[in-house]
């Protein structure tokens, strides 16, 4: 069965061709579907914004997107069979700026990263695959609405910094424990601000680093 990789730059065309495929996979494709929908009506940005639609004779079987506005502009991919994931990774070797971070289903992104690393090595630029972050997504089955509480929401102010910082430390520690990660080391406010632009909300990130 022939498989094609169709490169698209119009989010409307992506949804027209793969909208049903994404909608049928709300957990696996939530990040990709949300980002693509958000891009509708937006002007083409200066940073990379494109999608690769993988199709067989029956229709879409996978989607990869590169829409993140911050460097290194990671790609995000839906689950794929091993051989196809490796082929997809190899196809990313000539992208500019170079692809160095991959988000998505853990098993798939390892194979995509290995395919890209292999293509880089063949081109004379050896690279190694390094796991960057692993997170879990949980599907909400039943929503229990909380009871009303006194007061109302307001913007945080300078006097709230201590309380907000304490809450964030507890939240991060509990999130790390739930995800099976080692607790994150405390960082200063400047580092937190710099790192926040690169934090990924997908299942995992694998970085390709030159040897």
- What are the mean pLDDT values of the chain's consecutive 10-residue runs (211 residues total)? 91 97 91 94 93 95 95 94 95 94 91 94 90 72 81 86 88 77 60 33 45 52
pLDDT in tens, 11-30: 999 999 999 999 999 888 98
Secondary structure of residue 165 in the 3-state scheme: helix
Cα–Cα distance, 15 to 202 (Å, whole number): 20
> What is the value of pTM for the model shown?
0.70
Cα–Cα distance, 28 to 10 (Å, whole number): 22
Q: What is the pLDDT of residue 140?
A: 75
- Count CB atoms within 10 A of the CB of residue 91: 17
Q: What is the pLDDT of residue 208?
A: 52
Rounded to a whole number of angstroms, the CA Rg of the chain reads 20
């Amino acid at each position: 069965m022939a498989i094609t990789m169709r490169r698209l730059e119009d989010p409307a065309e992506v949804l027209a061709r793969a909208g049903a495929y994404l909608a049928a996979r709300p957990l696996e494709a939530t990040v990709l579907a949300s980002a693509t929908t958000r891009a509708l009506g937006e002007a083409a940005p200066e940073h990379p914004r494109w999608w690769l639609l993988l199709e067989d004779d029956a229709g879409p079987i996978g989607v990869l997107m590169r829409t993140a506005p911050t460097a290194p502009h990671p790609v995000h991919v839906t689950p794929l069979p091993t051989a196809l994931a490796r082929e997809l990774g190899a196809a990313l070797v000539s992208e500019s700026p170079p692809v160095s971070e991959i988000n998505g289903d853990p098993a798939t992104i390892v194979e995509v990263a290995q395919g890209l690393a292999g293509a880089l090595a063949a081109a004379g630029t050896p690279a190694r695959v390094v796991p960057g972050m692993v997170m879990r997504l949980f599907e909400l089955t039943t929503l229990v609405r909380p009871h009303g509480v006194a007061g109302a929401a307001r913007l945080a102010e300078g006097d709230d910094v201590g309380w907000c910082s304490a809450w964030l430390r507890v939240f991060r520690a509990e999130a790390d424990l739930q995800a099976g990660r080692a607790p994150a080391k405390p960082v200063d406010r400047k580092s937190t601000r710099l790192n926040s632009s690169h934090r990924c909300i997908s299942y995992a990130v694998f970085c390709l680093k030159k040897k």
